[in-house]
Structure 1
Amino acid sequence: MSKKIVKIHNKSDRPNNIVEKENEIVEKCIEIEKTLPTFMKDFFIYLRNGVALSTRLAYLQDIFFFCKYLVSETNITTVSEINAISIESLNDVKARDINRFLGDYCTRYTVNETDMVTIMENHNRSLARKKSSLTVLFKFLYRDELISENITDGFNPIRLPKPQPDAIKRLEIDEVAIMLDIAESGNGLTDKERIYWEKTKLRDKAILVLFITYGLRLKELQQLNISSFNFGRGDFKIYRKREKEVNMPLNQSVEKVIFDYVQLERVSNDYVLEKHKDALFLSLQKTRMTEKAIRQLVKKYTSLALGTTKENGYSPHKLRATAATSLIQNGFSIYDVQNLLDHDNVTTTQLYAAHKKNVKREIVHRFEWLDEYDKKSSPLE
């Protein structure tokens, strides 16, 4: 059966490509909901209106995985299909069952396929996400009086490693310069890579400059449209997590690389399908670049700047860290950087502040009390 054409009737301010992407996630959520027990219907409604769309999908995937575990790995229920699980069976689930699921089964399990066996491992961060999903589910069922006991207080804690500033991977200032030079000159690329680079060098440079200037998330950059940019007003629009719409100011460097790419390299819309005409960054196939393609591009250029293999190149998120540390090293406050990068908590931004070199020495040397050692009347002079 051929796939139906999706037509977007969009009366919101959000671009069609974002509405379409969100619809794809919604469809995935609906498909999972169809496989789960019907008594969870009110819980599905709660997720639809109470959490972010990506969180809704993650919770449903985790709950489906848990229900699959109940059916195939326990004697809590005797049914063979996930959607046949009864509320009475969930009422029989105790905290120890959840703790065994998370602490024993989830840490390492196998997936048997026709011609291979895949070993799956989850570390504490993944386990904590699964615990959070089940906590939300069981609290909701207890609140709605579908189960008689709130078992979530008995869930074992999952210890997450405290983020360490020294563990944050990012490019140094000189490595950023090397990366941009490679994007501009093609130095270090193989003969085969240079063939493609000749057709995409302005695009590649624009992508890298946007990442290291604004610390954009991969999704935010991939969704950019030509219509996102208002050069007359000097800004462009991005759509962040939790459906936040934000106007970002343009500086001259960003304006130049975007203008050069659009005017000198990007293919004319006469050769682009209607669906992709507004996309800022196009692939050589004249379609919107995928997140995977952008990630591979970043890993290629960062690996060359670092002098390592492509596998050890940095992801776009490491360029986000690069933007944060570079801004702080250039004197911007952590609160300014927090605002630019859209961090929920300033403690996240403080991790990048720890990378500012010799900050204590700089502060003390610039703050002398005795006149004979005070080399300035103002730190700005």
Structure 2
Amino acid sequence: MAKKKQITVHNKSDRPNNIVLTEHQIIEDCLNIEGQLPPFMRDFFIYLKNAVALSTRHAYLNDIHFFCKYLINETNLTTAKEISQITVDDFNNISAREINRFIGDYCTRYIIKEEDQIKVVENHNRSLARKKSSLSVLFKFLFRDERMKVNITDGFNPIRLPKPQPDAIKRLEIDEVAKLLDILQAGESFTEKEKVYWEKTKLRDRAIIILFVTYGLRLSELQQLNISSFNFNRGEFRIFRKRGKEVLMPINKSCEMVVKEYIEGERPKAEELDDENKDALFLSLQKKRMTARAIRNLTKKYTAFVLGSANGEGYSPHKLRATAATSLIQQGFSIYDVQNLLDHDNVTTTQLYAAHKKNIKREIVKNFEWIDEEDN
């Protein structure tokens, strides 16, 4: 078995090495998928590379690869035995009806047979909508590129997505956040076995939770943080958002305190770490950068104590993002300020977190009387 080559980063950009390396791994996976897909899609691969975010490119390629497997294994639309052998003529024989059957029937529930198990996969409408979007982008491009004679996407069935309901957004209330911070501080809710682990990571875990509920960071934004991301003299830290946006965030006293306490009192010293993890902010007990999965499990574990749910069935980092948004709005900040802080593309997303103000009109007019009862 060939030994896996070690990857070194020769970085001339302003972005940290860990982000460059993460993107490199996703790009490599994209190239691997493209190598399996039919050659006539090559111009489409170039289009994706320059037109959409890297994560979107990866998702689209996975969906198209899945569709091509479906063409070979579940239909008579191609005689190809391998995905790379599917021809553009095969695609020209595909009708909108076939796409609707794939998305509306096959994708809703299918079976994956593996060596030692059978996996049943069910998709809800949001997942189906993404698969439809991936194929729509592909077929529209092939039509514009004159590889397909007809634009069949007009015949794709609509997929109804539930309208987001503000009251249904899961989040912690302000008093629950206070309880969560007390648990992190004192560790009184833990078993003796859990306390042993908590003693080793309590400063790290508190810093993670406070950053989440203060700034509403996305999981990837927090996981990618480095020590060099923070400039305490200037009172700011740097994060990298979707589509490679670099943003400087002001750091308040609480966050500065918990991050410094973790770095100085609990995080392994630089000489104990390998080069890859020397700058990583949040480290596992194995002295490696924490994975996104580990951070997600951490937030679910701690919030489960607050919610009274089973261990590990608490809230995800995304729900702590919702917690930050609603807490800021409750403190009186405008939805436009919160939109800016959380990097929402559309203010209507931020408005969903203002559910507590659904009776604001009633409160306004109640306290804005032009005629006193005594005058009447």
Question: Do these two structures clear the TM 0.5 threshold for a shared fold by scoring above it?
Answer: yes
Q: 2:269 corresponds to which residue?
A: 268
Q: Which residue of 2 is the match for residue 145 of structure 1?
A: 146
Task: Give 1:118's aligned residue.
Answer: 119
Matched position secondary structure for 1:109: strand
| SS of equivalent to 1:93 | coil
Total equivalences in the alignment: 373
Q: Is residue 135–residue 152 contact of structure 1 (8 Å, CA) maintained in 2? A: yes
1:163 equivalent in alignment to 2:201? no
Q: 2:357 and 2:274 mapped to 1: Cα distance?
A: 47
The share of aligned pairs that are identical, in percent, is 69
**What is the deviation of 1:265?**
1.2
- The verdict on how the C-alpha distance between 1:95 and 1:249 changes in structure 2, with shifts beyond 3 A counting, is same
**1:136 corresponds to which residue?**
137
- Partners of 1:188 and 1:201 lie apart in 2 by 13
CA distance, structure 2, for counterparts of residue 237 and residue 27 of structure 1: 26
Distance verdict in 2 for CA 1:269–1:79, change over 3 Å:
same
CA deviations 1:31-71 (Å, max 9, x no partner) are 10010000111100111111000000000000000000001
Match of 2:178 in 1: 177
Aligned twin of 2:35: 34
CA positional deviation for 1:365? 4.1
What's the offset of the Cα at 1:370? 4.3
- Distance in 2 separating the partners of 1:208 and 1:365: 38
Within 2, Cα distance between the matches of 1:120 and 1:36? 23
Mapping for residues 234-245 of structure 1, pairs under 5 Å: 234-245=235-246
Asked whether the equivalents of residues 111 and 120 of structure 1 are also in contact (C-alpha less than 8 Å), the reply is yes
Aligned partner of residue 110 in structure 1, secondary structure: strand
Amino acid at match of 1:151: I
C-alpha distance in 1 between matches for 2:341 and 2:373: 41
Equivalences for 1:275-294 in 2 at 5 Å? 275-294=276-295
Task: Check conservation: 2:297, 2:312, Cα contact below 8 A.
Answer: no
- Range with bigger deviation, 353-362 or 197-206: 353-362
1:189 Cα offset (Å):
1.0
C-alpha distance after superposition, 1:313-333 (max 9, x if no partner): 000000000000001111111
Letter in 1 for 2:32: E
TM superposition score normalised by structure 1 = 0.96
Q: Distance in 2 between matches of 1:328 and 1:71?
A: 52
Residue type of the alignment partner of 2:59: A
Which residue matches 1:251?
252
SS at match of 1:178: helix
Question: Which residue number corresponds to residue 11 of structure 1?
Answer: 12
Structure 1 counterpart of 2:166, one-letter code: P
Structure 2 partner of 1:323:
324
Following superposition, the deviation at residue 368 of structure 1 comes to: 3.5
Q: Is the 8 A contact 1:325 1:356 kept in 2?
A: no
- Partner Cα distance (1:343, 1:78) in 2: 46
8 A contact 1:43–1:140 mirrored in 2: yes
Q: Aligned pair in 2 of structure 1 residues 289, 181: CA closer, same or farther (>3 Å)? A: same
Aligned to 1:222: 223
SS across alignment from 2:238: strand
Shift of 1:114: 1.6
Secondary structure (helix, strand or coil) at the match of 2:172 reads coil
1:233 counterpart residue number? 234
Structure 2 distance, partners of 1:46, 1:130, is: 18
SS for the counterpart of 2:157 is: coil
Q: Is the 8 A contact 2:301 2:313 kept in 1?
A: no
Match of 2:102 in 1: 101
Q: Which moved more, 1:353-362 or 1:128-137?
A: 353-362
Q: 1:360 to 1:187 in 2, by over 3 A?
A: farther
Over the aligned positions, Cα root-mean-square deviation in angstroms equals 1.3
1:371, 1:204 → 2: CA distance? 54
Please give the secondary structure, in 1, of the residue aligned with 2:288: coil
Q: State the secondary structure of the residue aligned to 1:312.
A: coil
Please tell me whether the aligned partners of residues 283 and 290 of structure 2 are also in contact (alpha carbons under 8 angstroms). yes
Quick one: structure 1 residues 366 and 260, their matched pair in 2 at CA, closer, same or farther if it must change by over 3 Å?
farther
Unpaired segments ≥5 residues, structure 2: none
Q: Distance between the aligned counterparts of 2:356 and 2:296, measured in 1?
A: 25
Aligned counterparts of 2:144 and 2:129: Cα–Cα separation in 1: 22
SS at match of 1:354: helix
Query: Is the contact made by 2:125 and 2:159 (CA closer than 8 Å) also made in structure 1?
Result: yes
| Equivalent-residue separation in structure 2 for 1:79 and 1:334 (angstroms) | 53
TM-score (normalised: structure 2): 0.97
